[in-house]
């Protein structure tokens, strides 16, 4: 009796090649010269990180273009929500003191931005902010 199988497979080597090509393009692009943009391949995820949302969108276009050129169906791409945390923009120092973390910054505004960023995250425990000093 004749039969056939229906499968959905993606060649992991083609994904790795597409990511490597995207990294090469990232290194040569003028608009990314002085920025801290990165394309990382972890297990079955491609993680993009950049300084702002516009650069993340440009990185996404680069990666999707390379995936399409390598023959990978874009139906296999699941775009997650971007994490717009202020990584790298806040210059604060942290220090672990027993059960507490002390955050020190140059200005009150920086510390308030850290508090807002921590409140925006959904941690499994309740957090409070104490000893706010100027």
pLDDT in tens, 79-133: 877 766 655 566 778 888 877 888 888 888 888 888 888 888 887 888 888 877 7
Supply the pLDDT for residue 3. 60
Structure token digits, residue 120: 């925006």
Q: Answer yes or no: do 71 and 31 share one domain.
A: yes
Say if residue 72 is in the same domain as residue 29.
yes
Task: Please check whether residue 105 lies inside any domain of the structure.
Answer: yes
Q: How many C-beta neighbours within 10 Å does residue 18 have? A: 24
Read off the pTM. Answer: 0.62
How is 58-81 classified by DSSP, letter by letter?
A: HHHHHHHHHHHHTT--GGG---PP
4 in any annotated domain = no
CATH for 42: 3.30.70.990
Angle at 95 between CA 92 and CA 120, to 5 degrees: 55
Number of domains in the chain: 2
76: confidence class by pLDDT, cuts 50, 70, 90? confident
Task: Tell me: do 72 and 92 sit in the same domain.
Answer: no
Residues 39 and 71 in one domain: yes
For residues 106 and 134, membership in a common domain is answered with yes
- By residue range, what is the domain housing residue 17? 12-76
pLDDT digits (tens, 9 = 90+) for 13-44: 999 999 999 999 999 988 888 888 889 988 88
């Amino acid at each position: 009796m004749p039969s056939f199988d229906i499968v959905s497979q993606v060649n992991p080597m083609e994904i790795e090649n597409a990511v490597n090509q995207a990294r090469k393009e990232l290194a040569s692009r003028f608009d990314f010269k002085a920025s801290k943009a990165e394309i990382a391949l972890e297990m079955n995820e491609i993680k993009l990180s950049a300084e702002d949302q516009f650069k993340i969108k440009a990185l996404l276009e680069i990666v999707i273009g390379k995936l399409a050129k390598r023959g990978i169906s874009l139906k296999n791409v699941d775009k997650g929500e971007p994490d717009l945390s202020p990584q790298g923009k806040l210059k604060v120092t942290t220090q672990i003191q027993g059960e507490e973390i002390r955050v020190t910054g140059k200005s009150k505004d920086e510390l308030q931005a850290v508090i807002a960023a921590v409140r925006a995250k959904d941690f499994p425990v309740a957090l409070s902010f104490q000893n706010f000093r100027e």
